[in-house]
Structure 1
């Protein structure tokens, strides 16, 4: 049973942090250095684990390496388990069929004017193994739990879906809190009460309320697109607050809005209105601790802002909000006029990343480099990215925490 909770201070005490600021995990963008800087500044750093295949024999070594890098950057090594370990928990995907692979190649061939010889170098392997697959492998899951039992992370979170009741119970035994992303009130109900589409459901400690303006992959796991309200962060938060206030006190989860939150006044508003913390990601994109800092640092200098964002699923296979570029526009236009059946998420995203790596490492005089004389990056960001400012993660955190309301100060 979930312990009674209602305030931001309750969550801060449980996590042993000073400020109600969670760093968004941002797989492929955030780094252990960003996470340690956030934790050093009194917030909760996060390490995304989506790129790790826990079915692989050396997966725990990779996890340990990330934890070691995070711990190395901490001012207080006793805070090494003050972290959010984030897993992707989407439905297990079938391997792509030949027509889906052919459609993907046609899409990129037309959008980038690439020859088949280049596209043929990409391999359709699953680059994002779901945590649900790990749950189905007793040995792999046991090794992961053995590590977590020793490490004892303060918080674990899940995106794209809900882990099993058994997993939630085991994580609670290890004193790890369990948070899950929701994008609709239907998903919130599943997380609080269980039900269709959430094979776990019920018993979660907190909910990351991801609004439609948020950057990165949209974490919906239940709502079909035709019924999705595309709620803003504020609307989703307010609807969820009304819902959870009708639950018994000991069943009310911590609420953590995420999406469009870029400054202290927005954090203050959410906390004063009942949120337990706020999750921020886009605000850190121009920092040197971000892997995409060079791109976003240039955007902060643009006047007026020339780029918009778009929610698109033809790069990775799942809807994600990113910056519109010539590459994204061309890809989307080709998709609109071409075949629609493409490979599943993990396979499709892996193929894109392979192509991007091939392009970045190609010699300047090759056919590939000639064809890709443009940036083919997939730059994930929220709608409020235009408010980005330069500065290190530490400097950004200092600015965010300096003017927090007095009752939020440690």
Structure 2
């Protein structure tokens, strides 16, 4: 084992000093954020789902210019979207009044609603990114084997046990256990999302037992106490997203960062109104208004693409009422961090916190035994 690495096999494999994986967050992760986390002893991850193959390649090159440490890229497993005219028309009937409030003209059907997943996958293979993770679906055994033959470590996302077993059977190297506390899109691909809202504390040990694979705990983890709790449940690292959203390297608008620092534990809801796929975020007028006509919401990625321009406009105007304010339930715990912190600073704090928490538990157990 290399000096300073942690003892789980996953952490040892990637030389992690801090058992933390920075979660991929579309619109938030930048090459600077990914590299800062990896350089600080964790595993940074680029959110590649919304990026063209060319942008994935350029961002990977930018990360490699900033770090020689391992890092990952995440993709959404999606089939090509070909919505009928009626689906798009109904969605725009609900979206256009919101667009008008922001001074935008009525929306129109788009030529493309999401990047081509197969082309994105080829970009990952060509770039030989050390770690590749996937959400929203399941890769074939052939695709998993191809990635692994290329020297790439494959992580699949599971929100319940059946999904973890499916990823195991497909040959994945590890499972990201997405608890119901997690912010942003739910990764559920087997059954309904309502039946897959399993909390992190319940999900992690069940996936450990059912799959026998390294499990990474995601959802509600914001500090060193959460990291230690995840490890105690059998996870080999903690996946942290919301904790990094307010960092200096995060690309989200300041209005979003401000909301994250002022919410309570009951401020988030799971909605599919904004993107057409269930996601956890801070309640605001955008979520509320689009939820009023559920029959008009188009499936992901169509709804996501149709609301993108208005959300980007709101972001430029620092109008938090019309942003998709993705956030996990643990966000209020982030208020203890100073404003405008850097990702490396956060990683150093997490390193101190989880080691102190581990030592405290060890001392308690020793005292209890006496």
Q: TM-score scaled to structure 2, two decimals?
A: 0.85
What is aligned with 2:241?
281
Alpha-carbon contact 2:266-2:329 (below 8 Å) kept: no
Deviations 1:253-287 (A, max 9, x none): 11001000011011112213321111000001111
Deviations 1:303-348 (A, max 9, x none): x74971111111111111111112222222x225xxx143331222
- The yes-or-no answer on 1:234 pairing with 2:201 is yes
The 5 A counterparts of 1:236-255 are 236-244=203-211, 252-255=212-215
Partner SS state of residue 118, structure 1: coil
Partner SS state of residue 404, structure 1: helix
- The yes-or-no answer on 1:335 pairing with 2:293 is yes
- The yes-or-no answer on 1:395 pairing with 2:345 is yes
**Aligned in 2, Cα 1:322/1:126: closer, same or farther, shift over 3 Å?**
farther
| Post-superposition offset of 1:173 | 1.2
The 5 A counterparts of 1:145-224 are 145=125, 147-148=126-127, 152-193=128-169, 201=170, 203-224=171-192
Distance 2:351 2:315 in 1: 38
From 63, 68, 71, the counterpart of 1:70:
63
From 71, 75, 89, the counterpart of 1:87:
75
Distance 1:408 1:169 in 2: 37
| Post-superposition offset of 1:293 | 5.4
- The yes-or-no answer on 1:382 pairing with 2:328 is yes
Alpha-carbon contact 2:204-2:233 (below 8 Å) kept: no
**Aligned in 2, Cα 1:266/1:117: closer, same or farther, shift over 3 Å?**
closer
What is aligned with 2:309?
354
Long gaps (5+) in structure 2: 1-5, 360-370
Alpha-carbon contact 1:19-1:408 (below 8 Å) kept: no
Distance 1:355 1:335 in 2: 18
Alpha-carbon contact 1:187-1:223 (below 8 Å) kept: no
What is aligned with 2:35?
36
| Post-superposition offset of 1:36 | 0.8
The 5 A counterparts of 1:112-151 are 118-120=105-107, 122-129=108-115, 131=117, 133-134=118-119, 145=125, 147-148=126-127
Distance 1:163 1:270 in 2: 26
Number of matched pairs: 350
From 99, 102, 119, the counterpart of 2:89:
102
Deviations 1:182-227 (A, max 9, x none): 001111121123xxxxxxx2x111000001110011111112245x
Partner SS state of residue 293, structure 2: helix
Distance 2:156 2:56 in 1: 20
- RMSD across aligned C-alpha pairs, in angstroms? 2.9
Long gaps (5+) in structure 1: 1-6, 135-139, 194-200, 245-251, 363-371
Partner SS state of residue 178, structure 1: strand
Range 10-19 or range 316-325, more displaced: 10-19
Partner SS state of residue 133, structure 2: strand
The answer to which structure, 1 or 2, has the higher relative contact order (CA under 8 A, 6+ apart) is 1
**Aligned in 2, Cα 1:39/1:225: closer, same or farther, shift over 3 Å?**
closer
Partner SS state of residue 375, structure 1: helix
What is aligned with 2:225?
265
| Post-superposition offset of 1:15 | 1.4
| Post-superposition offset of 1:156 | 0.7
Partner SS state of residue 87, structure 1: strand
- The yes-or-no answer on 1:25 pairing with 2:18 is no
Q: TM-score scaled to structure 1, two decimals?
A: 0.77
